[in-house]
Amino acid sequence: MQPIRTLAFVVNDSKSGAPELAKALIALAEERGVEVRASGLYPTPPGSLRGCDACCVIGGDGTLLGVVTEAARENVPVIGVNRGSLGFLTTFSGEEARQLFPAILEGQYCLANRSLLECSTGPGQHDLALNDVLIKDEFSSRLVRLEVFADDELVTEYYCDGLIFSTPTGSTAYNLSAGGPLIHPGAEVIAMTPICPHTLSNRSIIFRHDVCLRVFHRVERSRVLVAMDGQRKQLTCENSPIEISISPKRLALVQRCDYSHFAVVRTKLKWSGGYVESPNPRS
């Protein structure tokens, strides 16, 4: 890969150890003649990553999600350094970042191009999501009636707490908590998972990469809330369809070349199918 010569830092100062780690990594970059731009703002303001070779995010997955839209629009790879809890997206630990940063600056890394969802809630209202798009009632205690079409073909009508439309990257987030499937991040699909559906036969559906999904809210005089990556929220107008598809843009995540998705899943989710014999088996 190309060496990094202009590097933006987005630092979540509220995370333990993040300011100190940022100071150390910035010093490493400047020692090697890298131009550094540092900020604590996320979501990242428009234009702030323009001209950068990469963006280093120090915080948790939520911090990284705040950089997604601008990084994708400017085609800037993101280096995620975890100072949060799980860290599915911020794949480097603080210790790994300190150790590997000089090599990363010289171009010794691999890129994973992750698919994004593009969501439209009305004319001129478009946004991107790396993890998921959530549709729910404006007030959290109400059920919603949502009618879903795939390329103008009716899928079904849901009476539920909401719908989650997930990328493969986001399949380990809200989608998984709602009973949705784990999906390899290299798959070009969209997962749709209902939240607490009123019909037990309603389950997740996997759609192909080029589908255009349209969702209609069928309750009069009420609105639904649409949330992108749990952060950016929009309210829809009555009878206005919500359109969701896979964006032509991608988010480039910087990873170690020996990165293993399933190793991360096993570690972060404590996922194991191994049989463990009980210490006190029944006689």
Beta bridge partners of 38: 9
Structural domain that includes position 207: 115-248
Give the tens place of pLDDT for each residue, 134-172. Answer: 999 988 778 899 999 999 999 999 999 999 999 999 999
For 90, list phi and psi in degrees, rounded to 5.
-85, 85
Q: What is the CATH number of the domain that holds 34?
A: 3.40.50.10330
The CA distance from 122 to 103, in Å, is 45
Task: Look at residue 104 in the predicted model and tell me its pLDDT.
Answer: 97
Establish if 283 belongs to a structural domain: no
Give the tens place of pLDDT for each residue, 49-93. Answer: 999 999 999 999 999 999 999 999 999 999 999 997 778 899 999
Residue 203 shares a structural domain with residue 264: no
Give the tens place of pLDDT for each residue, 212-263. Answer: 999 999 877 778 999 999 988 888 866 679 999 999 999 999 999 999 998 8
Residue 119 shares a structural domain with residue 224: yes
Q: What average pLDDT does the chain have?
A: 92
Task: Look at residue 22 in the predicted model and tell me its pLDDT.
Answer: 97
Q: How many domains does one find in the chain? A: 2
Give the tens place of pLDDT for each residue, 187-217. Answer: 999 999 999 998 877 899 999 999 999 999 9
CB atoms within 10 A of CB 261: 18
pTM of the model as a whole: 0.91
Q: What is the CATH number of the domain that holds 230?
A: 2.60.200.30
Residue 54 shares a structural domain with residue 146: no
Task: Look at residue 28 in the predicted model and tell me its pLDDT.
Answer: 97
Query: Which pairs with CB-CB distance under 8 Å and at least 24 residues apart come from 236-239?
Result: 236/121, 236/122, 237/122
Residue 120 shares a structural domain with residue 243: yes
Residue 86 shares a structural domain with residue 122: no
Residue 32 shares a structural domain with residue 91: yes
Establish if 149 belongs to a structural domain: yes
Establish if 54 belongs to a structural domain: yes
Residue 93 shares a structural domain with residue 123: no
Residue 217 shares a structural domain with residue 123: yes
Give the tens place of pLDDT for each residue, 28-57. Answer: 999 999 999 999 998 999 999 999 999 999
Residue 167 shares a structural domain with residue 126: yes
Write out the catalytic residue numbers.
61
- Residue 276 makes CB contacts below 8 A (sequence gap 6+) with none
The CA distance from 247 to 120, in Å, is 11
